[in-house]
Structures are given as structure tokens and as C-alpha cells.
């Protein structure tokens, strides 16, 4: 840990712990709510910062990362129950030695992706996250202080399968032919790569918790591209390992952990027994189905289709109300964190975000009150 981290450990007292209580399965007076990608381009104040700075420059500058992380917390004052640190899942491939650029309009680009197993030699042998990614830990510590206890701070990494997909495909593919070729043609090298990524993810999550993150989420955004059998072998095995290792390394300082394996509906039961406290759902599974499969073992998070926020405010209110009611289904003690089923889109009107947040507050409070 850096001297900055070491001298900054006395954090302000947390005033809103709804998220943490919901994650641990404790009663809450209403559903906590936050939004995946809540700091981003739908906010004019984000676009302003972004116009002056490169994406990864913001990630690497703790003052800027702190400023941007706080933007939605300030704008929707009292309506958001969590902050998520401004960063990206692709800092892990960077730490492993691959160049990653964020190209406006095209998303992330890796100019020299891994083509064959020989390319594994190009990766850094043993990544020291405190050397490569200390800026993230510093950003977390700084943000935790700047939040002044208003809401808990979430740290995150990408799931190993999703990160491997980027490292082999080189961008946000719609095909997955290259990375699928790897798992079918080079299964051993694929496992070597996934294990290498997993080791960095574990260190990065442990480091984020030690730097001040009060909850951790693993985003396996492309896991739904795998067959159920391949999901188990190439995604779930590593997701489970991450939860086990992070929790045992943190010991008494362990924080709640969330897994988001997008479109892997078939894996819901397995995910609910994989060592995570919260399973984040996309919109392809109904709350009723998710409740029946997870049976209160974990807290459910989600799952409004992000496209709903592109409709009129009346539709946002109606769809959000229906979602919240279905998650509770008359059971006030349901373990639930409201969110979208995937990241918010850049053309969403800010008023619709406010309508979503307010509806979650109103409806869930009503249900819990009875």
C-alpha cells in the first residue's frame, strides 16, 4: 500500500448503509438503488470533463476519477444509494501489458490483440497491481473521503471470460469467433490465460477493498455467449475462484460481493451458490423466475431493460413500478437492490433517470411499510 493509502484509513462514518444491509440479507426500509455506468455520457457534466481529458487519463488521475464518480451522487442527491468508482474493466489487460485505447464512437480498441497461444509470451509474467494500478487504489481512497459517508463506494473488475474476450477479439465484438476458436482449439492456453487474468482480478479486488471499497462487483458482460457447459468451464470456475480467494484474503475485512453474468440465465442457480452475496440480473429473466431459483440465498440486483429509460417518463414510472412489485411479490423481506439490467445508455434523458430512482424509492417504501 502507498503512503497515501496508509495515512488515509480513517474514513468518515457511513450515513446510508441500505446497500450493504440489503447485500447481507438484512431488512431495509426500502430497496437501495444505483445504476450501472451511472457516471457517464448521459450526464452533461461528465461530457464536459471528457471533452478535456482522455478516458484513461480520467481513470489514472485520482482527482478526476473522484470528481466524475461524485457527479451522479451530487446531481441525484439523496436518490442514489451507492457510488461506483470511475474506472474500466480494461485496466486489467493494460496491467498485463496490452495497449487499450478508448476511441470515441467505437468503444475500447486493443490494437495488438492475442492471436495465438504464442502471444501469451507478450503478457507481463507477474503483475504487481500496486505498481501497475496504484492509481485506482488512490482514486478509491480519495473518493471514499470525498463521499464523506453519504453512500457506500463500490469497486469492480471484469470477469475473466469477458476480459479474455477483449484481449483476443481486440474490441467489443458481435461475433466471438476468435475467442471461441481459442476455447475450442487451444483449451489449455485458454485456461492459462483465464488463470492469469483471474490472479490479477483477485489482487485488484483485494486492493480495492483495502483502499476503501465497501462492496465489490465482477462484471462478466459477455458470459451469455457461452453454452452452459462452456460457461461452467471457462467462466463460472474463475468467478467462483475470485469470490473464494478475495473473501479469504480479506478475512474479517471481507466486503459483500456481486456477480453479474449477463445473459447466463441458465446459470442462475449455480451463481446463487458460487460464494457471492448478490447476483445481478439482466432483463431477460423475470423477477418471479429469479426469486424462484435463488430462493433467498442471495440478494437479487436489477433488472430494468436500459432501453426503458429512452421512453416517456410515464413509461419509466410504470415499468419501474411493475419491476419493483414483482421482485417483492408481496414478501417484504425479499433481498433486493434495484438497478438496470445493464449499463445506462448515453442518450438517456436525465429526467428519466430521476423518475426511475424516485419510483424505486416510492414503490419499495410502500411495499415494505405494508
Question: What x-and-dash track marks residues 192-231 binding ligand CP3 by CB under 6 A?
Answer: ---------------------------x-x----------
Closest-CA residue to 222 (of 185, 274, 269, 167): 167
Nearest to 80 by CA among 110, 24, 37: 37
Q: Is 176 in the site for ligand CP3 (CB under 6 A)?
A: no
Smallest distance, ligand CP3 to C-beta of residue 272, A: 20
* Residue showing cell 450501472: 36
CB burial of 53-90 (b: ≥16 within 10 Å; e: otherwise) equals eebbebbbbbebbbbbbbbbbebbeebbbbbbbbbbbb
Among 42, 76, 137, 156, binds ligand CP3 (CB under 6 A): 156
Q: Which is nearer to ligand CP3, 25 or 343 (CB)?
A: 343
User: Which residue is closest to ligand CP3 by CB?
Assistant: 221
Query: How far apart, in whole angstroms, are the C-alpha atoms of residue 35 and residue 161?
Result: 23
CB of 171 to ligand CP3, least distance (A): 9
Catalytic residue positions, numbered? 37, 41, 50, 88, 166
Give me the residue label for grid cell 481459442: 182
Q: Is 299 helix (H, G, I), strand (E, B) or coil?
A: strand
Site residues (CB under 6 A) for ligand CP3, limited to 79-108: 84, 86-90, 102, 104, 107-108
Would you say 231 or 328 has its CB closer to ligand CP3? Answer: 231
Q: Would you count residue 155 as binding ligand CP3 (CB under 6 A)? A: no
Under rule CB under 6 A, residue 186 binds ligand CP3? no
Nearer Cβ to ligand CP3 (70/298):
70
Applying the rule CB under 6 A, the residues between 46 and 75 that interact with ligand CP3 are: 50, 55
Cell of 92: 486489467
Q: How far is CA 53 from the centre of its chain?
A: 23
Q: Is the dihedral of CA 133, 136, 139, 145 positive or negative?
A: negative
What is the x/- site pattern for ligand CP3, positions 22-51, by CB under 6 A?
Answer: --------------xxxxxx--------x-
Buried residues in 185-198 as b, exposed as e (16+ CB within 10 A): eeeebbbebbebbb
Q: Which of 227, 232, 238, 214 is nearest to 92 (CA)?
A: 238
The residues binding ligand CP3 (CB under 6 A) are 36-41, 50, 55, 84, 86-90, 102, 104, 107-108, 156, 172, 219, 221, 342-343
Amino acid at each position: 500500500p502507498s503512503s497515501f493509502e496508509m495515512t488515509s484509513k480513517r474514513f468518515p462514518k457511513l450515513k446510508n448503509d441500505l446497500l450493504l444491509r440489503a447485500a447481507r440479507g438484512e431488512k431495509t426500509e426500502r430497496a437501495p438503488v444505483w445504476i450501472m455506468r451511472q457516471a457517464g455520457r448521459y450526464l452533461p457534466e461528465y461530457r464536459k470533463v471528457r471533452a478535456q481529458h482522455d478516458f484513461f487519463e480520467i481513470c489514472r488521475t485520482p482527482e478526476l476519477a473522484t470528481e466524475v464518480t461524485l457527479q451522479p451522487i451530487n446531481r441525484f442527491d439523496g436518490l442514489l444509494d451507492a457510488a461506483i468508482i470511475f474506472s474500466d474493466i480494461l485496466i486489467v489487460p493494460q496491467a498485463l501489458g496490452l495497449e487499450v485505447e478508448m476511441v470515441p464512437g467505437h468503444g475500447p480498441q486493443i490494437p495488438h490483440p492475442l492471436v495465438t497461444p504464442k502471444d501469451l509470451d507478450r503478457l507481463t509474467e507477474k503483475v504487481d497491481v500496486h505498481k501497475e494500478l496504484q492509481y485506482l487504489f488512490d482514486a478509491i481512497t480519495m473518493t471514499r473521503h470525498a463521499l464523506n459517508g453519504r453512500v457506500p463506494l463500490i469497486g469492480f473488475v471484469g470477469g475473466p471470460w469477458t476480459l479474455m474476450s477483449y484481449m483476443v477479439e481486440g474490441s467489443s465484438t458481435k461475433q466471438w469467433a476468435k475467442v471461441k476458436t481459442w476455447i475450442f482449439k487451444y483449451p489449455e492456453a485458454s485456461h492459462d490465460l483465464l488463470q492469469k487474468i483471474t490472479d490479477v482480478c483477485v489482487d485488484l479486488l483485494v486492493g480495492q477493498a483495502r483502499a476503501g471499497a465497501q462492496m465489490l462487483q465482477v462484471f462478466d458482460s459477455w458470459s451469455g455467449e457461452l453454452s452452459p457447459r462452456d460457461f461452467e468451464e471457462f467462466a463460472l470456475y474463475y468467478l467462483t475462484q475470485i469470490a473464494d480467494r478475495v473473501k479469504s484474503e480479506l478475512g474479517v475485512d471481507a466486503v459483500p460481493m456481486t456477480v453479474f453474468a449477463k445473459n447466463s440465465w441458465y446459470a442462475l442457480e449455480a451463481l446463487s451458490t458460487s460464494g457471492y452475496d448478490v447476483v445481478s440480473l439482466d432483463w431477460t429473466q423475470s423477477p418471479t423466475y429469479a426469486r424462484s431459483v435463488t430462493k433467498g440465498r442471495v440478494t437479487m440486483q436489477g433488472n430494468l431493460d436500459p432501453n426503458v429509460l429512452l421512453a416517456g417518463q410515464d413509461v419509466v414510472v410504470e415499468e419501474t413500478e411493475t419491476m419493483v412489485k414483482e421482485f417483492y411479490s408481496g414478501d417484504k423481506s425479499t433481498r433486493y437492490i434495484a438497478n438496470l439490467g445493464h449499463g445506462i445508455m448515453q442518450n438517456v434523458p436525465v429526467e428519466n433517470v430521476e423518475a426511475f430512482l424516485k419510483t424505486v424509492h416510492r414503490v419499495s417504501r410502500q411495499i415494505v411499510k405494508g
